[in-house]
Amino acid sequence: MATRETATLEKVPVTVITGFLGSGKTTLITHLLRHAGGRRLAVLVNEFGDVGIDGEIIKGCAIAGCPAENIIELTNGCICCTIADAFIPTIEALMALDPRPDHILIETSGLALPKPLVKAFDWPDIRSRITVDGVIALADAEAVAAGRFAPDAEAVDRQRAADPGIDHETPLSEVFEDQIACADIVLLTKADLAGPEAIAKARAIILAEAPRALPIVEVVDGAVDPRVILGLGAAAEDDLDARPSHHDTATDHDHDEFESVVIDLPEQDDPALLAARIVDLAKAQNILRVKGYAAVAGKPMRLLVQAVGARVRHQYDRPWRAGEPRQGRLVVIAEHDDIDAQAIRAALVPPAKAAE
């Protein structure tokens, strides 16, 4: 039988959870925390934007197996770009917790490339104590089936033949392809919204992008047996060559293609009207993602808002705390050329509301 001393010499497994904006990463992590099976879990959340919405959602779950001090957020910086400055010290802090976590979950931002993060686990300071148990990529079934992140290779070839200087690959497709290429398992999320035909199409697109055979699991509301995705023993840091990336030959990368705007919201009269404004905004300005929360007049609960494109979901998640300002806040994310902060603010906060 292993003693407590020898047990602590075992590497702590880390699961990297990647996926495009709104693919359901936070929902999955919340499910894993609620079905931890006795594991002591810690969570590292990497946000793109100024407001740690995802970390706030997870902390609001009040799960005994993962207390608030086991949840750390990195905001205003893509984790794959801040390895030395942010990631390593954060992992060190999680490893120093007493009791030490049995398993660490890392939720990357929707814009993060997973391979640079996996490479960081080869750093001498942490390699002997921690390992990448697996990389889980989440893909929105409807979005993938619609072809938003996987361009038609034949169409690209025709375009390149007609114009050799054309930029044939969008930033979104690069992010999507890198996430699939680095994955050990792909979770096809929101399968209930997609339907059989779209699911079959999404599967075909993902398998066409994958550099090797990958299991694809359909998931609704993040509900997956933890045994399917935790305990894979992939040691991904030792398997980098099998996980190709568009950026393998680059010394670094940036996310100048994307930008975020934070919008403060006054108290809302009707959640449906707020959702309608988000839908109109997404259609008019090609917005990728909206997430945050709002205060609704006469309601003691905070309204959680999540939107992917023009698809909006909202629900009351927790009571407003004593002394907490009833102030709403939304993070709006889009490609750089589609961000117009003034127009976004005008769309979400009508003049009559702004004047109140």
The tens digit of pLDDT for each residue in 54-89 reads: 445 444 444 555 455 555 555 544 444 445 556 777
Of all residues in the chain, what percent are helix, strand and coil, respectively (each to 5)? 40, 25, 40
Distance CA 32, CA 36 (A): 6
Confidence of residue 295 (pLDDT cuts 50, 70, 90): very high
Distance CA 276, CA 48 (A): 24
CB 278 within 8 A of CB 285: no
- pTM score: 0.65
The tens digit of pLDDT for each residue in 15-49 reads: 999 987 678 888 898 889 888 888 888 888 875 44
Q: What is the mean pLDDT of residues 144-156?
A: 52
Distance CA 184, CA 115 (A): 12
The tens digit of pLDDT for each residue in 202-260 reads: 999 999 989 888 889 999 988 888 888 898 888 888 888 888 877 665 544 554 566 78
CB 313 within 8 A of CB 307: yes
The reply to whether omega before 99 is within 30° of 0 (cis) is yes
Length of the chain: 356
User: Of the candidates 246, 231, 259, 211, which has an alpha carbon nearest to the alpha carbon of residue 115?
Assistant: 246
Percent of the chain scoring above 70 in pLDDT: 73
Distance CA 351, CA 356 (A): 9
The tens digit of pLDDT for each residue in 112-138 reads: 778 888 888 877 778 888 999 999 999
Distance CA 221, CA 32 (A): 12
- Say how many C-beta atoms besides its own lie within 10 A of residue 256's C-beta: 9
Give the pLDDT score at 6.
38
Distance CA 111, CA 100 (A): 29
Secondary structure of 288-305 as H, E, C letters? CEEEEEECECCCCEEEEE
Two tokens, residue 311: 């698809």
- Can you say whether the dihedral through the CA atoms of 100, 102, 108, 112 is positive or negative? positive
